[in-house]
Amino acid sequence: MNEIDGSYLEGGGQIIRTTIALSAITRTPVHLYNIRAGREKPGLRPQHIEGIKAAAQMCTADVSGLDPGSTEIHFTPQALHGGDFVIDIKTAGSVTLVMQTLIPVALHTTEPVHIIVRGGTAVPFSPTSEYFEHVLLTFLARMGIEMRVTTKKHGFYPAGGGEISVSIQPGAMRSLDLVERGSLERIEVVSVAHVDLRHARVAERMLAGFKNIIPEIETQYRYVKAASVGCFISSRALFQNSSIGADELGRRGRRAEDVGKDAATALQRAISGEGAIDRWMVDQIIPFVALAARATGRGSNIKIPELSNHARTNMWVVSSFLQVGFRAENNILECYLKE
């Protein structure tokens, strides 16, 4: 039984997601306690519960403590299997955060996995489905992961109601050596707003704000139907060897132009640095490079912009399950297999 303290360092939901994924993959029973102890609303939230339920289905796990607000669970996995799964968070809980638990698990099944997830696709404190599809999948593809993500319907806070479709082929993973991102080739920007915001030209105005900071971009915009009114802008800088993203959500009382400007400023800051990945990708890629080291015996080296507490927390969880270590020197993050 692996004992994981959910209040360690950053102490958020990432501990839950990585713990459950690696428990299922390694078939290691886990006791997770002090779940989100430092948060305003501690314990499990709906998106955590639905992610754990789905992972439990994929590995026929016995689970106890799976209740809203619970600060302690026991998770005992068995054999992994693929198939079709439908997950409905029933709130604006992030669909992409749920998938952070399930993608690593699906890669280790013996048959393809298809997952429908319903909830929030562009909500605070989580990657948008656009970032997930166009930035995260870029790196996973480099690691030999065959995966497809389609946003069927957008979901904004507070109602959610969005839906993504994810197809994953299990298979061998490769390590990731990404120190030089290469030259900048182009910048792509997508602006998305609810149909009720069309009359105010919100999608176009977010793009205009972005162009005030970075004028040379490839743009597209669209208006979508959703259960709640919302908007966001998603940008990515495509380099010869890499991709860097920056998204920004709109909110009531905030000028659309300012949403675009803030996204452009964040992307410009990332471009002006030397990282081969953006700061949001650092913690997301950690479980994958660790699993690749476990599978291949080869480590990974990645040029990062910074090492956040979020990333350090994820490294700690990963090292609690796998015989891997991490080093960060001169902004090169190395994941290596321990002897």
Q: List, in order, residues 6 or more apart from 8 with CB less than 8 Å away.
A: 15, 313, 316, 317
Backbone angles phi, psi at 113, to 5 degrees: -125, 130
Two tokens at 162?
């969005």
pLDDT for position 156: 98
Q: Compute, in degrees rounded to 10, the torsion defined by CA atoms 87, 93, 96, 98.
A: -50
Q: In this structure, are residues 106 and 113 in contact, taking their beta carbons and an 8 Å threshold?
A: yes
d(CA 32, CA 72): 6
The CB-side HSE value for 18 (13 A sphere, CA atoms) comes to 30
Supply the pLDDT for residue 38.
81
Q: For position 339, what pLDDT does the model report?
A: 77
The pLDDT score that the predictor gives to residue 74 is 98
**pLDDT score of 270:** 96
Q: What is the pLDDT of residues 70-120, one digit of tens each?
A: 999 999 999 999 999 999 999 999 999 999 999 999 999 989 999 999 999
In this predicted structure, what is the pLDDT of residue 51?
Answer: 96
Residue ranges of domains in the chain, CATH in brackets: 2-176 (3.65.10.20), 184-272 (3.30.360.20)
Q: What share of the chain in percent tops pLDDT 70?
A: 100
3 DSSP β-pair partners: 31
* Per-residue confidence (pLDDT) for residue 66, from 0 to 100: 96
Say what the pLDDT of residue 172 is. 87
Is 310 known to be catalytic?
Answer: yes
